[in-house]
């Protein structure tokens, strides 16, 4: 349930450092009590949930770390100590906004930080929790780079911290370059802005920032790689295994791209011989940014055309009827 107070325009403008600091020390004044967390989730099985990718703002270059979530859930269950749970941070969008190529409708909420914390809470059957609220137009000045900067600053998701990585900072820097291109026609940032970045992130140097500028990617191309959980992969396997179109196929559980040309081929051929079958369905998914780029841009060693061609050659060599290859989405 939302309240009107969230939509009021505040008069004060806050710096990135002030927003991050006040949320971390618990003094950020805009708080929504008992906010419904399930609106950011999708139900995969009865009483089983996953973060809904369409309802969160992913500022990291990687998505959900399911092993991390499981470790924290087990820790809380074994100790019954919930004091380490932290308020999620959500963003209110009063107007329609484009974020990394996706349209966010006006008058809507998105999850910004502590995605892992929300997953942990829902796993612990905590479906409502007090949340910090940022107004995208007022608090963040409708700036995607400022949103990313706040998200990077709020890198602590649980008592076991997952600190901000250079890849996350790079996405923030590229967002700033995007905004500069739109406003000035030139993506290159001023020396003052560069110095500010290196001041906020001491691990950076001018060589690193210069390299980012040389390899700048706009908007949608830099969406983070989708990290598939075991539950989601099993769901994908069952979906295809139950499709009438693949009724006479040997359907293989999803395999990471790293192993597509080794172990998978051996298991596939052994099973086809054992079952006296001549049709196979192979399901592959990316686990790295390089693999995701290969799939999405059809280039390099993970080119979908190249991989399909190799399976087609294998089919012809062994006189099989079909080897179909499906690539799960990587963004």
Domain boundaries, the chain: 4-162, 165-224, 230-327
DSSP state of 56: B
Say if residues 64 and 227 touch (Cβ distance below 8 Å).
Answer: yes
Q: Which residues contact 297 (CB under 8 A, 6 or more apart)?
A: none
The strand pair at 128-135 and 31-36 is best described as: antiparallel
pLDDT of res. 197:
82
In this predicted model, what pLDDT tens digit does every residue of 270-316 receive, in sequence order?
999 888 899 999 999 988 778 888 888 888 888 999 999 999 999 99
* 68 confidence band (pLDDT: 50, 70, 90): confident
**How distant, in Å, are the alpha carbons of 239, 293, 330 from that of 218?**
34, 14, 17
* 12 confidence band (pLDDT: 50, 70, 90): low
More confident position, 70 or 191: 191
Q: Which residues contact 3 (CB under 8 A, 6 or more apart)?
A: 32
pLDDT of res. 83:
75
pLDDT of res. 135:
92
Say if residues 18 and 112 touch (Cβ distance below 8 Å).
Answer: no
Residue 67 has pLDDT above 60, yes or no: yes
Give the 3-state secondary structure of residue 28.
coil
Cβ atoms < 10 Å from Cβ of 37: 21
In this predicted model, what pLDDT tens digit does every residue of 129-144 receive, in sequence order?
999 999 999 899 999 8
135: β partners: 92
How far is residue 60's CA from residue 224's CA, in Å, rounded to a whole number?
7
**Rounded mean pLDDT, 51-60:** 77
Residue ranges in 25-165 assigned as alpha helix (H): 66-79, 115-123, 144-153
* 4 confidence band (pLDDT: 50, 70, 90): very low
What is the total residue count of the chain? Answer: 331
How far is residue 143's CA from residue 16's CA, in Å, rounded to a whole number?
11
Say if residues 296 and 290 touch (Cβ distance below 8 Å).
Answer: no
Q: Which residues contact 53 (CB under 8 A, 6 or more apart)?
A: 63, 226
DSSP state of 62: B
Burial level of 224, CB count in 10 A (0-12/13-18/19+)?
buried
């Amino acid at each position: 349930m939302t309240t009107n107070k969230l939509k009021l325009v505040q008069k004060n403008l806050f710096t990135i450092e002030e927003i991050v600091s006040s949320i971390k020390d618990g003094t950020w004044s805009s708080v929504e009590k008992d906010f419904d967390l399930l609106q950011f989730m999708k139900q995969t099985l009865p009483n089983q949930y996953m973060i809904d990718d369409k309802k969160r703002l992913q500022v990291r270059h990687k998505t959900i770390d399911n092993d991390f979530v499981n470790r924290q859930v087990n820790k809380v269950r074994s100790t019954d100590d919930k004091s380490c749970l932290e308020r999620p941070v959500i963003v209110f969008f009063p107007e329609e906004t484009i974020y990394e190529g996706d349209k966010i409708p006006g008058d809507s909420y998105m999850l910004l930080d502590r995605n892992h914390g929300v997953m942990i809470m829902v796993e612990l059957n905590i479906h409502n929790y007090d949340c910090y609220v940022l107004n995208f137009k007022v608090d963040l000045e409708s700036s995607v780079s400022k949103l990313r900067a706040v998200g990077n600053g709020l890198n602590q998701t649980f008592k076991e911290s997952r600190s901000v990585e250079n890849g996350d900072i790079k996405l923030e820097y590229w967002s700033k370059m995007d905004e500069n291109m739109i406003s000035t026609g030139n993506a290159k940032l001023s020396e003052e802005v560069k110095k500010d970045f290196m001041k906020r992130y001491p691990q950076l140097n001018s060589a690193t920032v210069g390299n980012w500028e040389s390899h700048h990617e706009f908007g949608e191309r830099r969406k983070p790689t989708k990290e598939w959980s075991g539950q989601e992969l099993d769901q994908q396997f069952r979906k295809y295994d139950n499709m009438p179109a693949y009724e006479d196929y040997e359907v293989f559980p999803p395999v990471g791209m790293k192993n597509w040309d080794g172990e998978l081929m051996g298991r596939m051929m052994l099973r086809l011989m054992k079952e006296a079958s001549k049709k196979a369905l192979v399901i592959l998914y990316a686990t790295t940014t390089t693999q995701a780029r290969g799939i999405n841009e059809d280039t390099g060693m993970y080119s979908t055309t190249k991989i399909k061609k190799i399976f087609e050659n294998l089919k012809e060599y062994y006189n099989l009827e079909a080897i179909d290859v499906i690539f799960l989405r990587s963004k």
